[in-house]
Amino acid sequence: MTVSGVKGEERHNFTKAESKQIRARSLRLLGSLLLPVRAKVVLAMLMVVVSTAAQVSGPALIAFGIDRGLPALLEQDWLPLAATGGVYLVAGVLGALLIAWYTVLSARISQAVLIDLRKRVFLHTQKLSLEFHESYTSGRIISRQTSDLDAIRELLDSGINQLVQGILYMSFTAIALVLLDGTSGLVLLGAVLPLVILTRWFQVRSQSLFRQSRVASASLIVRFVETMTGIRAVKAFRTEKHNETVFGKLVESYRMVNARVIQLFGVFDPGLVLIGNVTVAAVLLVNGFRVADGQLAIGALLATLLYTRRFFDPMEEMAMFYNSYQSAAAALEKISGVLEERPGVPDPVAPVDLWEAHGRVRFDNVQFAYQADREILPHFDLDIPAGQTIALVGSTGAGKSTLAKLMSRFYDPTDGQVRLDDVDLRDLHPKDLRRAIVMVTQEAYLFSGSVAENIAIGKPDASAQQICAAAAAVGAHEFIENLPNGYDTDVNKRGGRVSAGQRQLISFARAFLANPAVLILDEATSSLDIPSERLVQEALQTLLADRTAVIIAHRLSTVAIADRVLVMEHGRIVEDGTPNDLISGTGRFATMHAAWRESLV
Ligand SMILES: Nc1ncnc2c1ncn2[C@@H]1O[C@H](COP(=O)(O)OP(=O)(O)OP(=O)(O)O)[C@@H](O)[C@H]1O
């Protein structure tokens, strides 16, 4: 199985080569994000090096002040002590200023990187085909934009700072200690072994716990989003109690993992403090004797103690970095996977412009399957002349919506071609394709915003009059006028809520305004009541007059306005003719129509 794109997300056990492939992908993404801010990164590094050096100089200066400045002062020479104090002050101020500057600069870098990544994820996910969105759940998409980006933000905001400053601080401190006094350096070296053992122990255990914690929190998000997305089904089937139990279990497992993480820190933190204190005690003991023997000055003793103590300070923060690094690395892996996905319907390399499409649609030798082993359209030929109105009927699962999706190029055929005015849809300029072919579906999705804005999606530069005219043409004007703020009513605010049928009318107005050469209505009148449907049918006569139209409808009333009826079964057209011919015949459509007429009586 491959790990390219999002496929790797479902797996946990990778081979070495696969892990390498995923890491390389993450690093490439990180590299491409840092490239535009590389100058700032170098500057920030320089600042942090200088400011850490300034901070680390403190104990050495204190030692100098005590061992050289004080005796000189006793001899009435105040200059060495004053100079030491001055240098200490300058180092302190410089360190503080540089840290302040560094903090601002690193925040800018992290903001730039995050904004870039956030935009890339949004734009790319939006570009991915319907095929991708139909299998990649909304919970996962939301996690990519929220918790994953948060994990990366956390790493950039504090994690990297802590790591870089921590490593530099510990290295500079160790170097300063060795330079000041080799013996103390040896004592510190003695602490390194237990330190390495403790840190390694912590890393090994925390790695698996942090992973479990991320998995548990992701499951919580996915469960929450899916429950809320399906809230209607939840209420209709009264599954609240069941959901509560399932969610409760997820929360409990999240709590358990976090409790174990805290237990781990409960051993690691005191362990660090203990090693630090034992080392300081050892330095005090060894150097105390050396001071008594006159081998070491008292100021140097103090400085060695301060360096030893300070050496351990960044350890805990660096252990925390490990956590944020792990989360961010996992997040980066998943985000880079989404960004690696290629749209199932790629934009043409040499797009053909079709300014004024006539609307002839042809399916030539088309074969189509969603999954390799299950063919939906085995072999499909169809010629729809420009301006014809087709009613597409057939039983559930016959492949009607699939045909509509191929016609709108939501999918590409596995074999053969779908053409508009003799141009393969794959070669058509995406802008021309969207202008020429519009599909209205049953969902009739409305975006946040006013009714007018929702209609104007069909033609963003439309005037208010054009919007009203479009609404009037599909019989939506009256109800829109009766909404609290008319065309300016926000469809997602209380009071502005519209019914499913009204939503469909708005999406009709949107399609009418877009004025495409080919209009596909996939169950687009299913939520309308019979009088509204009749109204729309009248409007449809005008709406469909000068364009090619494909109407998929279970209610056969639509057939009356069609020039031609296609009956589909198992991905094939089994009947094709004018409504009258088919009704008066003895085929499937005649039976369906008779049954439908009877149901009306
Ligand atoms: N995204 C998908 N992935 C895999 N299989 C799919 C997908 N969408 C549809 N199918 C399958 O393709 C077949 C045809 O489905 P399609 O939606 O085209 O039927 P339909 O004639 O429009 O049915 P209905 O009248 O119920 O809407 C069905 O067997 C369905 O299971």
What is the domain-level CATH number for residue 540?
3.40.50.300
What value does the mean pLDDT take over residues 136-152? 82
What value does the mean pLDDT take over residues 82-91? 90
What value does the mean pLDDT take over residues 440-459? 85
pLDDT tier at 74 (50, 70, 90 boundaries)?
A: confident
Phi, psi of 23 (to 5 degrees): -60, -45
Q: Is 44 inside a domain boundary?
A: yes
Closest C-alpha to ligand 1, atom 28: 397
- Ligand 1 mutation pick, 400, 441, 572, max ligand atoms within 8 A of CB: 400
* Lowest-pLDDT choice from 17-31, 389-403, 465-479: 17-31
Q: Tell me what pLDDT residue 527 has.
A: 66
Indicate whether 244 and 377 sit together in one domain.
no
Indicate whether 499 and 398 sit together in one domain.
yes
Q: Is 346 inside a domain boundary?
A: no
| Exposed/middle/buried for residue 165 (C-beta within 10 Å: 0-12, 13-18, 19+) | buried
What value does the mean pLDDT take over residues 77-83? 85
Domain boundary among 307, 340, 373: 340
Q: Is 488 inside a domain boundary?
A: yes
Q: Which ligand 1 atom is at minimum distance from the Cα of 402? A: 18
Angle at 148 between CA 165 and CA 370, to 5 degrees: 150
Q: Which ligand 1 atom is at minimum distance from the Cα of 135? A: 1
Residue type, 68: R
Residue type, 574: V
Report residue 342 as tokens.
């290629």
Closest CA to 110 of 324, 309, 427: 324
Q: Is 156 inside a domain boundary?
A: yes
Indicate whether 82 and 221 sit together in one domain.
yes
| ipTM of this complex prediction, to 2 decimal places | 0.95
Q: Is 349 inside a domain boundary?
A: no
Domain boundary among 281, 311, 340: 340
What value does the mean pLDDT take over residues 4-32? 75
| Contact indicator for 594, 422 with CB cutoff of 8 Å | no
571 CA → ligand 1 middle, Å = 10
Q: Is 347 inside a domain boundary?
A: no
- Please state the length of the chain: 601
Closest C-alpha to ligand 1, atom 9: 402
Q: Which ligand 1 atom is at minimum distance from the Cα of 371? A: 4
Residue type, 255: R
Between helix 298-311 and helix 182-229 the angle, nearest 10°, is 20
Q: Tell me what pLDDT residue 8 has.
A: 65
Closest C-alpha to ligand 1, atom 25: 396
Q: Tell me what pLDDT residue 383 has.
A: 92
**CATH code, domain carrying 60:** 1.20.1560.10
What value does the mean pLDDT take over residues 519-542? 74
Q: Which ligand 1 atom is at minimum distance from the Cα of 403? A: 18
587 CA → ligand 1 middle, Å = 24
Total number of domains constituting the chain: 2
Indicate whether 562 and 455 sit together in one domain.
yes
- Full residue range of the structural domain in which residue 390 is found: 361-600
Lining ligand 1 with CB less than 6 A are: 134, 370, 376, 394, 396-402
Displacement of CA 107 from its chain's centroid (Å): 22
Indicate whether 385 and 323 sit together in one domain.
no
Q: Tell me what pLDDT residue 254 has.
A: 92
Closest C-alpha to ligand 1, atom 2: 370
Indicate whether 325 and 385 sit together in one domain.
no
pLDDT tier at 493 (50, 70, 90 boundaries)?
A: low
| Residue 52 confidence (pLDDT) above 80 | yes
Indicate whether 558 and 422 sit together in one domain.
yes
398 CA → ligand 1 middle, Å = 7
Indicate whether 381 and 278 sit together in one domain.
no
Could you tell me the strand order of the sheet in which 374-384 lies? Answer: 374-384, 361-371, 415-420, 423-424
Query: Residues of 339-376 as b/e, b for ≥16 C-beta within 10 angstroms?
Result: bbbeeebeebeebbebeebbbbbbbeebebbeeeeeeb
| Residue 18 confidence (pLDDT) above 80 | no
Kindly report the average pLDDT of the chain as a whole number.
85
What value does the mean pLDDT take over residues 432-441? 88
Indicate whether 328 and 408 sit together in one domain.
no
Q: Is 563 inside a domain boundary?
A: yes
**What is the C-alpha R_g of the chain?**
35
What value does the mean pLDDT take over residues 276-296? 89
Q: Is 1 inside a domain boundary?
A: no
* DSSP code at position 381: E
Domain boundary among 285, 307, 340: 340
Indicate whether 97 and 203 sit together in one domain.
yes
Indicate whether 333 and 186 sit together in one domain.
yes
| Residue 495 confidence (pLDDT) above 70 | no
Of 135 and 389, the one with more pLDDT: 389
Strand partners, 388: none
Indicate whether 417 and 287 sit together in one domain.
no
559 CA → ligand 1 middle, Å = 22
Q: Percentage of the chain with pLDDT > 70?
A: 94
| Contact indicator for 389, 564 with CB cutoff of 8 Å | yes
409 CA → ligand 1 middle, Å = 16
Beta-strand pair 437-440/518-522: parallel
Cα separation, 569 vs 258, whole angstroms: 55
